[in-house]
């Protein structure tokens, strides 16, 4: 079993305060026309957005929850992407380049304006979910701003965003903001027991540690050899001084076969560096971490972390060669060691 897509996921744990805020707004009839749902990757932002949308489309809630039974017709139509009063905007597939676009295009945002000015087919609300709102380019962001400046009645836009700083300040200022935090370990264990029952308790525990409060990240790592990649990163960091860069090409070839291998590897590599340096600074490092951190000054480790972050961000944003980026990252890692 794996987690359903956000639009079809009836489960949301650990975000009771955000749900209560939404429920209060619906019940009180004080619905803001635009909501900005932010937080780390994979913590449930899109799941909350669709939960919010379903509740609006299904009518005024009668209980103390946004939850809608999966057998409800509205739940089924939203899950299938066929509800007449709901539209989702996200990065689209580019048939010419045969890959996902790196940005949300202006044509996708223009569809919002047309959709929101239609009369609701079922007499209630019209709802737009913009998933990955930070991926709008300048033109599409300006187009969305025009919609937000003149919102039609009984229409709501839900912006799902992991990097709100990349949005125009004028967009942020026109939204009511909900920030979701990382889940605690107990909640993570509850979700992973349900989504990944075939794993052992030890494997789920390892995913909880690696995912840092993000069930989405845990699921990606479970489905895409995340545990194996974490072992690879642990061994790499424990033996930096003996690691030949030539072996980096073997690692790059292996990870390049996976759609998410690059992101998982870079996330875990940066997390491993950060964890070791923090532990050393607090006097809590284990012998392997102490040996690794001693290879360069603390400030140099900070520069390395920022360099790896920039490398990953540019590679993913501009669809650069991930194999070469992995080799470059490993070169940065071992370049200043004796």
Pairing of strands 93-94, 99-100: antiparallel
* The pLDDT of residue 223: 80
* Annotated domain spans of the chain: 6-179, 224-334
Interatomic CA distance for residues 27 and 263, integer angstroms: 41
Interatomic CA distance for residues 291 and 130, integer angstroms: 46
Q: Rounded to two decimals, what is the model's pTM?
A: 0.83
Domain 6-179 is found in CATH 3.40.50.300 = yes
Rg value, the chain, Cα = 22
- Edge-to-edge strand order for the sheet containing 34-38? 86-89, 126-131, 155-161, 34-38, 176-179
* The pLDDT of residue 253: 93
Answer whether 240's CB lies under 8 Å from 293's CB.
no
* The pLDDT of residue 101: 80
**The two three-digit tokens of residue 313, written as one number:** 């961000």
**The two three-digit tokens of residue 287, written as one number:** 């012998």
- Name residue 11's beta-bridge partners: none
Answer whether 221's CB lies under 8 Å from 264's CB.
yes
Answer whether 305's CB lies under 8 Å from 274's CB.
yes
Per-residue pLDDT of the chain (338 residues), as tens digits, is: 578 999 999 999 999 999 999 999 999 999 999 999 999 999 999 999 999 999 999 988 878 889 999 999 999 999 999 999 999 999 887 777 777 788 899 998 998 888 988 889 887 899 999 999 999 999 999 999 999 999 889 999 999 999 999 999 999 999 999 999 999 999 999 999 999 999 999 999 999 998 989 999 899 888 868 889 999 999 999 999 888 888 989 999 999 888 889 999 999 999 899 999 999 999 988 999 999 999 999 899 999 999 999 999 999 888 899 999 999 999 999 884 44
- At residue 296, φ and ψ (nearest 5 deg) are -155, 160
């Amino acid at each position: 079993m794996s987690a359903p897509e956000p639009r079809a996921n009836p489960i949301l744990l650990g975000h009771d305060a955000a749900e209560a805020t939404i429920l209060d707004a619906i019940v009180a009839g004080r619905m803001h026309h635009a909501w900005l749902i932010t937080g780390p990757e994979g913590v449930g932002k899109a799941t909350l957005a669709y939960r919010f949308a379903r509740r609006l489309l299904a009518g005024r809630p009668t209980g103390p929850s946004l939850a809608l039974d999966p057998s409800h017709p509205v739940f089924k139509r939203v899950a299938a992407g066929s509800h007449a009063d709901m539209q989702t905007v996200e990065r689209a597939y580019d048939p010419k380049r045969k890959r996902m676009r790196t940005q949300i295009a202006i044509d996708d945002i223009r569809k919002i304006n047309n959709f929101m000015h239609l009369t609701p087919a079922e007499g209630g609300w019209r709802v737009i979910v913009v998933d990955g709102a930070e991926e709008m380019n300048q033109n599409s962001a300006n187009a969305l701003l025009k919609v937000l400046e003149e919102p039609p009645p009984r229409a709501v836009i839900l912006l799902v965003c992991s990097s709100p700083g990349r949005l125009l300040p004028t967009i942020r200022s026109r939204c009511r903001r909900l920030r979701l935090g990382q889940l605690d370990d107990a909640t993570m264990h509850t979700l992973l027991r349900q989504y990944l029952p075939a794993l052992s308790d030890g494997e789920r525990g390892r995913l909880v540690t690696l995912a840092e409060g993000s069930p989405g990240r845990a699921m990606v790592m479970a489905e895409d050899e995340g545990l194996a990649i974490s072992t690879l990163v642990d061994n790499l960091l424990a033996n930096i001084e003996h690691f030949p860069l030539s072996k980096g090409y073997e690692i790059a070839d292996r990870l390049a076969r996976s759609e998410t291998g690059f992101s998982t590897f870079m996330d875990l590599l940066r997390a491993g560096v950060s964890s070791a340096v923090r532990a050393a600074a607090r006097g809590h490092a284990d012998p392997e971490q102490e040996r690794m951190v001693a290879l360069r000054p603390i400030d140099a480790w900070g520069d390395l972390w920022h360099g790896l972050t920039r490398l990953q961000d540019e590679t993913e944003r501009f669809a650069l060669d991930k194999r070469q980026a992995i080799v470059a990252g490993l070169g940065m890692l071992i370049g200043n060691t004796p």
